[in-house]
Amino acid sequence: MTELAHEPVFSTGDSAVCEPLAHGEDVAAHFHDFGQLRYAASGALVTTTDVGTWVAPANRITWVPPFSVHSSRSHGETHIRLLRVPAALAGHLPPEPSVFVASALMREAYLALLDDREPDDSPRGRLLLDVVLSELARSEQEPLRLPEPGDARLKAVTDLLHADPAGPATLAELGRRTGSSERTLSRLFGSELSMSFHQWRTLLRIQRAVLELCAGTSVTDTAMRLGWANPSSFIDAFTDLVGQTPGRYRAAARG
């Protein structure tokens, strides 16, 4: 999902426990005057802003800073637990959306805040929130931020890639479909997104692969579904970007 609403809605608050989202369900673009942590207890959540797309399968926590316009799409039946972070504490976390690996301690403190409906200003509530923020500060960030373009010519191409990440079309072919030259598009990928067409499409495919693997799809089937010529080339690309093999990533996610 790359499209943000033209007039994002200011949201004064979200329920801590949302209704389950069906596969492919969208949450329209909006923003808050507070920070928000978003934990997918099951399924996966894709968060998009005007500068990037982040993927958070189960056992990952997405951070959205105050006033950051964002929209979402679910992958699989997704149960989201939302935690408000006061704007005064947002400086302890990154200035742009991020995805963190959830440690066991972080997850338990996070869920205790929500399940016990602990008031934000109670001593126990402040202590639990401090635990969550402290764990986030030392937690590993997922490296799979996919930058999104602002240029309309480049966006026309990336929209086609989002719709069909496994497609074999070259940049020249995509340019013919969208009315831009290969040279112009190649220049825009470098100047606006700081990567080549091939690098951007590979990163998009790896993001989608994370969703497939966390849903239980085998490494071989994931490679074939997303356009790799063979599983070994997929394994190499995934390992380079994620830091572990897709088999290990799948086993950890399923576990």
Task: Evaluate whether residue 176 is within a structural domain.
Answer: yes
Same domain, 87 and 28: yes
Please report which confidence band the pLDDT of residue 4 belongs to, taking 50, 70 and 90 as the band edges. very low
Q: What is the mean pLDDT of residues 114-124?
A: 78
Q: What is the mean pLDDT of residues 60-82?
A: 88
Same domain, 20 and 108: yes
Task: Evaluate whether residue 222 is within a structural domain.
Answer: yes
Q: What is the mean pLDDT of residues 108-127?
A: 82
pLDDT higher than 60, residue 178: yes
> Are 111 and 81 in contact, with CB atoms under 8 Å apart?
yes
- For residue range 191-215, what is the model confidence (pLDDT) as tens digits? 999 999 999 999 999 999 988 988 8
| pTM score of the predicted model | 0.77
* Domain housing 203: 149-254
Same domain, 133 and 13: yes
Domain of 59, CATH number, reads 2.60.120.280
Same domain, 69 and 180: no
Domain stop point among 86, 103, 137: 137
Question: What pLDDT is stored for residue 155 in this prediction?
Answer: 94
Question: What pLDDT is stored for residue 2 in this prediction?
Answer: 45
Question: What pLDDT is stored for residue 19 in this prediction?
Answer: 65
Question: What pLDDT is stored for residue 15 in this prediction?
Answer: 53
Task: Evaluate whether residue 142 is within a structural domain.
Answer: no
Q: What is the mean pLDDT of residues 67-75?
A: 89
Task: Evaluate whether residue 203 is within a structural domain.
Answer: yes
Number of domains in the chain: 2
Poorest-confidence range of 45-59, 123-137, 144-158, 213-227? 45-59
Domain of 182, CATH number, reads 1.10.10.60
